[in-house]
Amino acid sequence: MRSVASLDAAEARALVGVLFDLDDTVLDHGQLTLAAYGALWKLRDAGLRLVAVTGRPYSWADVVARTWPVDAAIAENGAVAIVRESGRVVVTERASATERGERSARLKEIVAAASRELPEVGLADDVAGRLTDVTWDIGEHVTVPEAQVSALMALIQRHGARTTRSSVHVHATFEVDDKATGVTRMLCETQHEDATAARHRWAYVGDSANDAPCFSAFRSTFGVANVRGAVARLSVPPRWVASRERGAGFAEIADALVRARGGPVPSGA
């Protein structure tokens, strides 16, 4: 990982937009700082489009898509897309009602098994807002030992589900998408992107293991400083890294991108 301070103009100017994770990337332990929110506007005022790409529930991302300066939000690690269109939002979730019901029943079996085998690990407090997956709290309100996190992820896999983790949650899902496939499909279907060109036209900023698919898929990838704690779980680390953590790191990356592009460009110019 190279310092974001050495980002070059050619790479920065090739970008049309920035994809960004929420927890511990833009958010500081769940809170949106003035610096991070200002950084979003700075990027937008520099002519870049913005898309949040989070493991958080559909219900949370719906609020982000409606109220933040973004074009869209991807929720539940790629499974749900919420896109702004003419002042409204359009929600896309690919499973049929039958598939959704079957997957929900299988997820409930995993929740029951986890509560029997690992009763000390509790569900996250955002599960009620989810459409496609289930989450356990490993670092949001409690700190779960790594041995229990590993045991939970192994249990999920034994039940045939996919699992990933962020800095705050372990996820179980029967969806096939990850953050990279989910956001790329949305870019192609709603933002008139080509799937291959998008990899060079959109940057990604993240911090954790569930960001690994995007760190691998996109060319211009950035980690806030706390990504260093997750590097051992990343098959491909981000190419650029900030010196500061979380929201301050996101603001540092935004400053570097805008500076490398040659300063603010009026929107619509």
The residue range among 14-22, 39-47, 175-183, 241-249 that interacts with Mg ion, by the rule CB under 5 A, is 14-22
Nearer to Mg ion, 193 or 252 (CB): 252
User: Scanning residues 154 to 213, which ones bind Mg ion (CB under 5 A)?
Assistant: 166, 207-208
In the complex, minimum distance from the CB of residue 205 to Mg ion, in angstroms, rounded to a whole number: 10
Nearer to Mg ion, 184 or 210 (CB): 210
In the complex, minimum distance from the CB of residue 24 to Mg ion, in angstroms, rounded to a whole number: 4
In the complex, minimum distance from the CB of residue 234 to Mg ion, in angstroms, rounded to a whole number: 12
In the complex, minimum distance from the CB of residue 265 to Mg ion, in angstroms, rounded to a whole number: 29
In the complex, minimum distance from the CB of residue 169 to Mg ion, in angstroms, rounded to a whole number: 9
Please state, in angstroms and as integers, the Cα–Cα distance from residue 222 to each residue in 127, 142, 212, following that order: 29, 27, 11
Residue 245 found at the interface with Mg ion (CB under 5 A): no
Residue 186's CB is within 10 A of a number of other CB atoms, namely: 23
How far, in Å, CA of 255 to CA of 157, rounded? 41
In the complex, minimum distance from the CB of residue 54 to Mg ion, in angstroms, rounded to a whole number: 8
Residue 132: CA count within 13 A, CB half-sphere: 26
Radius of gyration, alpha carbons of the chain: 18
Residue 147's CB is within 10 A of a number of other CB atoms, namely: 8
Binding mask 45-84 for Mg ion (x = CB under 5 A): ----------------------------------------
Q: If binding means CB under 5 A, how many residues of this protein chain bind Mg ion?
A: 7
β-sheet with 169-173: strand ranges across = 133-137, 169-173, 162-165
Nearer to Mg ion, 168 or 260 (CB): 168
Q: Which of 4, 20, 24, 164 binds Mg ion (CB under 5 A)?
A: 24
Please state, in angstroms and as integers, the Cα–Cα distance from residue 14 to each residue in 111, 147, 183, 201, 221, following that order: 45, 43, 19, 6, 13
In the complex, minimum distance from the CB of residue 18 to Mg ion, in angstroms, rounded to a whole number: 15
User: Scanning residues 91 to 130, which ones bind Mg ion (CB under 5 A)?
Assistant: none
| 158-183 exposure pattern, b = at least 16 Cβ within 10 A, e = fewer | eeebbbbbbbbbbbbbbbebbbbbbb
SS3 165: strand
Residue 28 found at the interface with Mg ion (CB under 5 A): no
Residue 23 found at the interface with Mg ion (CB under 5 A): yes
CB 137 within 8 A of CB 125: yes
Q: Angle 34-45/246-260 helices, nearest 10 degrees?
A: 20
Q: Which of 21, 28, 133, 137 binds Mg ion (CB under 5 A)?
A: 21
Q: Which residues contribute to the site for Mg ion (CB under 5 A)?
A: 21, 23-25, 166, 207-208
